[in-house]
Structure 1
Amino acid sequence: MDVETSAKGREALASVPNTPGAPKPDPIVVGDGITRTFGGLTAVDVEHIEIQRGVITALIGPNGAGKTTLFNLLTGFDKPDAGDWSFNGNRLAGLPAFKVARLGMVRTFQLTKVLSKLTVIENMRLGATGQRGEHFWLSMLPPLWRAQEQANTERADDLLRRFKLDAKREDFAGSLSGGQRKLLEMARALMVDPELIMLDEPMAGVNPALKQSLLGHVKSLREEGRTVLFVEHDMDMVRDISDWVIVMAQGKIVAEGRPEQIMADPAVIDAYLGAHHDADLSELDEARIEAEATAELDQEAKND
């Protein structure tokens, strides 16, 4: 994974059409017919989705659009009613979340999932995979796993320095601020050395002082050649760091494209603000709306 991977990925997007479900030159994730319903509500109804390798893709949409539900489905934290998807050509449907992570596809959460009664360094060590000391019999033979744990600790310390959390190394994770917990989650995710990192609203609840730091860290993931997919409502962040934007509304993908194109797309404006939000009302329209409102008030008065 390197800068060249990122540059190639961004160059490849230049030829991608701005249509929902557009095929990508080198997709790391491909999904088809993914649906999820809750009772009578269809939360996700995605016909086709592809995530380009080596770039930062933003997944945006109004509240209730199905973004986090789609994250949960792709990463094995929820099961769809139908659909199939793959990561690096490996079929993921039906695979539990921990196996998805082992393949190199990890995610963070809107509400952070740090283990508050463990220290920061202990949280980091837990992020490492394939630890020999986790096996019952091997745990009784420290010489077989001590060197591996030392290597994991050194990697964890490097990441804590990178995310400026090294001063908090021995503090309980529960004592961290909301923004510091976001940083810890991102650092812990990197203990897996993932190819794809999925961030669910990384800026939610983060104070302005830490926002720029988080933005810089997300960009650095791309420069390492990693792929980033993130959910966000902060449109300034989306414009600043994303190479490609996918828009969801009512469970469906309604638009795709580069940030500057998406912000001017009528389908996106309608998804966020409602159709005809900027249309001028004629005098007849205004009179009709006023008459309907008056009639409703009169009816309520009669009922009382």
Structure 2
Amino acid sequence: MPTDTQPSSDTQSKKSDSILVADGVTRKFGGLTAVDVEHFEIQRGKITALIGPNGAGKTTFFNLLTGFDEPDSGEWTFNGQSLHGVPPYKVARKGMVRTFQLTKVLSRLKVIENMRLGATGQRGEKFFPSLFKGLWSGQEKENTDRAMDLLARFKLDAKADDFAGSLSGGQRKLLEMARALMVDPELIMLDEPMAGVNPALKQSLLGHVKSLRDEGRTVLFVEHDMDMVRDISDWVVVMAQGKIVAEGPPDTVMANQAVIDAYLGAHHDAALTHETEEEILAAAEAELEAEAEAEENS
């Protein structure tokens, strides 16, 4: 685990070798500020978890970083290159890919066809070369061989000729992860990879995520399963109300009061004195009396 920085509730840590860096990223929807991130870094070759309660802005932040949404302000770079305004398909070509909380497999295409679509720079996609099979058939065979190797790795090779729509929820998660690897990415961003996955497939997915790190890839994932976060993460970043409130190694972050407050509400464990209880009851009774009086006068 990284040890060069300490968790903080108000400032974000500088990493020694960052693959992704974001500064001043904000996104507002009307009067609601969904994302307000001052500074965010992902260390190369590590597994980083992005956690926080529902509505914290995690998925919105994912969408901003990968080009699926436009921020109101801010800059972010991948391998030192700005991604501001770069569309999602070009972000993927640069080596930064993502999966979705709700899987985006193409249900009416076969599993192998879904995989081939993940490959970039396919000559057969252009009109003129597509007319001459000899110009693209060799490349398609290479892509198919790579796709089958990945399907075998994710234990989906027996499903290669099945329609993707016939797969279970967990198998679709595996297919998305396998398809993402078709571009040989440096950074893989997983949005709630364990959501809706049965316990048997959870362990398989955990193993695959760890194997990505073992290959030297960088992983950033959003997850609510704290056991998974503690098991596989090198570093944890916590969001609440659009802001980063803490970060650090898993065990340290889990014990951080700012994290506990973010998930359970500030002062959730404060002792309720007799005086405070009386004040709460009196306020509640006054509110009920006011409502009753209003009904009588209406």
- Shared fold (TM-score, shorter chain, > 0.5): yes
State the AA in 1 paired with 2:3: A
Q: Which residue matches 1:28?
A: 19
| CA apart distance, 1:193 | 0.3
Picking from 244, 248, 264, the partner of 1:253 is: 244
2:17 paired with 1:18? no
2:182 paired with 1:182? no
**How many residue pairs were aligned?**
293
Give runs of aligned pairs for residues 193-272 of structure 1, distance below 5 A. 193-272=184-263
1:225-253 Cα deviation digits (max 9, x unpaired): 10000000111110011000000011110
TM-score, normalized by length of structure 1?
0.95
| CA apart distance, 1:292 | 1.1
| CA apart distance, 1:220 | 0.6
Q: Which residue matches 2:70?
A: 79
| CA apart distance, 1:300 | 2.5
Give runs of aligned pairs for residues 93-172 of structure 1, distance below 5 A. 93-172=84-163
Picking from 293, 298, 301, the partner of 2:284 is: 293
Point out the more displaced range, 189-198 or 15-24.
15-24
Please state whether the residue corresponding to 1:256 is helix, strand or coil.
strand
| CA apart distance, 1:272 | 0.7
2:50 paired with 1:55? no
Whole-angstrom CA distance in 2 between matches of 1:233 and 1:61: 7
Please state whether the residue corresponding to 1:14 is helix, strand or coil.
coil
TM-score, normalized by length of structure 2?
0.97
| CA apart distance, 1:210 | 0.7
In percent, how many aligned pairs have the same letter?
75
| CA apart distance, 1:167 | 1.2
Whole-angstrom CA distance in 2 between matches of 1:302 and 1:222: 65
1:73-112 Cα deviation digits (max 9, x unpaired): 0000000001000000111001000000000000000000
* Structure 1: stretches of 5+ with no match in the other structure: 1-9
| CA apart distance, 1:124 | 0.2
State the AA in 2 paired with 1:179: G
Picking from 37, 44, 52, the partner of 1:46 is: 37
| CA apart distance, 1:291 | 1.1
State the AA in 1 paired with 2:145: E
| CA apart distance, 1:118 | 0.1
State the AA in 2 paired with 1:17: Q
| CA apart distance, 1:137 | 0.1
State the AA in 2 paired with 1:228: V
Q: Structure 1 segments of 4 or more deviating over 3 A?
A: none
Whole-angstrom CA distance in 1 between matches of 2:7 and 2:223: 20
1:107-129 Cα deviation digits (max 9, x unpaired): 00000000000000000000000
Whole-angstrom CA distance in 2 between matches of 1:227 and 1:75: 15
